[in-house]
């Protein structure tokens, strides 16, 4: 089981998350011959500002302060498309928002846990889920190619505050 829930849901030095994500992104892009331009890196950086999914227009609003250049929707969406293609971010369909992938490059199925109280999202990859899904879909005659699993609930912190034990 691979997850970034420890970091996402607990106090941590978030700067290390950011640094690690940007380092991995630079490495992966240079390996792939993909160009992580300043704009794309700035968008990735903004998405990694927190562990909460960020919308495209929020990115557009934040970019000027981060880069000094204003950015309109198509520019932002192009960067998002690039980052999605490289597997550096994920789209959270139920929120129309985007979140940094904590383990890009490694072959993994994405499963996103979203706290309905604080909005924090963590990613998790587990063979047990993969095999259960492969098994049942195969039995249904369906050839599964990609998964989009978004789970809503309460993170450890918000569960304690008046939530269920």
Cα–Cα nearest to 90, from 133, 132, 122: 122
| Part of the chain binding DNA (CB under 7 A), chosen from 91-99, 100-108, 125-133, 134-142 | 91-99
Q: Check: CB of residue 89 under 8 Å from CB of residue 44.
A: yes
The residue (of 4 and 79) whose beta carbon lies closer to a second copy is: 4
Which residues are at the interface with a second copy (CB under 8 A)? 1, 3, 5, 9, 93-94, 111, 113, 115-116, 122, 124, 126, 128-129, 131-133, 135-137, 139-156, 159, 163-164
Q: Check: CB of residue 71 under 8 Å from CB of residue 31.
A: no
The residue (of 9 and 47) whose beta carbon lies closer to DNA is: 47
First to last CA, the chain: 23
- Tell me which of a second copy, DNA, none is bound by residue 79, counting a contact when its beta carbon lies within the kind-specific cut-off of 5 to 8 angstroms: DNA
Rounded to 5°, the CA angle 93-40-46 comes to: 65
């Amino acid at each position: 089981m691979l997850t970034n829930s420890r970091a996402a849901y607990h106090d941590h030095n978030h700067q290390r998350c950011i640094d690690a994500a940007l380092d991995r992104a630079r490495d992966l892009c240079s390996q792939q011959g993909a160009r992580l331009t300043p704009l794309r890196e700035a968008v990735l950086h903004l998405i990694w500002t927190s562990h909460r999914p960020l919308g495209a227009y929020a990115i557009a609003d934040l970019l000027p302060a981060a880069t000094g250049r204003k950015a309109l929707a198509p520019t932002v969406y192009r960067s998002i498309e690039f980052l999605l293609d490289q597997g550096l971010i994920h789209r959270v369909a139920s929120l129309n928002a985007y979140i940094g992938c904590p383990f890009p490059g490694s072959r993994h199925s994405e499963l996103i846990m979203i706290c309905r109280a604080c909005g924090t999202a963590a990613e998790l990859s587990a063979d047990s889920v993969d095999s259960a899904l492969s098994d049942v879909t195969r039995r249904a005659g369906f050839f599964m190619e990609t998964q989009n699993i978004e789970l809503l609930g309460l993170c450890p912190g918000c569960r304690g505050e008046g939530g269920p034990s």
